[in-house]
Copies of this chain bind each other. A is one copy, B any other.
Amino acid sequence: MDIIVLQPDTPEENIRHILKKLESKGLKGTISQGTERTIIGVIGDTSRVTEEEEDAIRVMTGVENVVRILKPYKLASREFKKVNTEINVRGSIIGGKKIQVMAGPCAVENKTILMNIAERVKNSGATFLRGGAYKPRTSPYSFQGLGEEGLRYLAEAREKTGLPIVTEIMDPRDMDVIVKYADIIQIGTRNMQNFRLLLEVGSIDKPILLKRGLSATIKEWLMSAEYIMSRGNQNVMLCERGIRTFETATRNTLDLSAVPLLKQLTHLPVVVDPSHGVGKWDLVAPMAKAAVAAGADALMIEVHTNPEEALSDGEQSLRPDLFAKLMRELKPIAEAVGREI
């Protein structure tokens, strides 16, 4: 049900015009006269009213405001599906009791380093391997990733460690090659509203990790999940990774309150990436702990054996020994909130 607030002293004629418009959309309006404002309650299946139809009403003569009551997403909403979505990736469940940990380098740089990191994080308890073969970089002069070569290394690392792999897609034209290797396909921050890419990953049967856009509201984020789900792919997980605010002391501001809020609004699993969230390796551990305490279903953490030589995001990568320490420290916190890790 939507509500149309009328300007004071709107003539009868304009009101009739608005009611007719509603009827033309298969809806019905009921008028309530208040002391200072008259409002029209809209009855019917308003969930099918698109934003542009709403805007069209907003500009009609006599309309002061249109208030949307229902959420604009459906498949992603907790209301539509009450029970938590659990995503099974090669036997590891994301969204269940166990908190999954996706660790690895920002970018795949070469085979030796990747293998080394993969084994180290596996030994410390990581359950997924992360690594980018196609890298979105703000500068055209930066390392852009190894492409399929990087994917092959990831697959080899999976073979050796058993860790399923998470890797990013940037371009619909890379879909075939990425699908061949990846276990979870990541939509990066800068592509959260790359709608054509969303539709594309909505048509495949791999789980999608959808990172929050730098300045995306929770609503817009869920709408992007809805894009994917509307095409059939229901296995979407949401990854909080920091939003852009006025604060420059950290790379981004990790919005941990999004975790419990999402748990109310949606049935989809929630992942937290503290590495990008803060951008400084020495803040990663406390924020990873905070994420678990706040209710995250999984963590995504950058680990590098030699941050000094990393070709991407060295500043926010943990060394393997610090990652191992973190994994030990997370255990009692996970237990304290009724989870395991």
Contact = CB atoms under 8 A, between A and B. Distances in A.
Interface of A: 1, 3, 5, 8, 21, 30, 32-37, 39, 41-48, 50-52, 55-60, 65, 67, 69-70, 72, 79, 136-144, 170-173, 190-191, 193-199, 214-215, 217-220, 223-224, 226-227, 230-231, 243-250, 253-257, 259-261, 264, 277-278, 280-283, 286-287, 289-295, 307-315, 317, 329, 332-333, 335-337
Contact of A290 (B21, B46, B59, B293): B293
Kindly report how many copies of this chain are found in the complex they form together. 4
Contacts of A254: 255-257
B39 A1 contact: yes
B243 A250 contact: no
A202 B264 CA distance: 43
A112 to B, nearest CB: 18
A67 B3 contact: yes
| Interface class of chain A by DSSP | mixed
Nearest to A331: B336
A250 to B, nearest CB: 5
Contacts of A140: 195, 198-199, 223, 226-227, 230-231
Contact of A314 (B59, B198, B287): B59
Contacts of A39: 1, 3, 41, 69
Nearest to A194: B194
Contact of A171 (B196, B259, B283, B292): B196
B244 A215 contact: yes
Given A67-B67, A286-B295, 16 more contacts: A50-B143, A55-B314, A137-B195, A139-B223, A140-B226, A140-B230, A172-B173, A173-B196, A215-B246, A243-B246, A247-B255, A254-B257, A257-B277, A257-B278, A259-B286, A289-B294
A152 to B, nearest CB: 20
Contacts of A172: 171-173
A34 B295 CA distance: 34
Nearest to A189: B193
What 3 A-B pairs have minimum CB-CB distances, sorted nearest first?
A: A1-B34, A215-B215, A332-B336
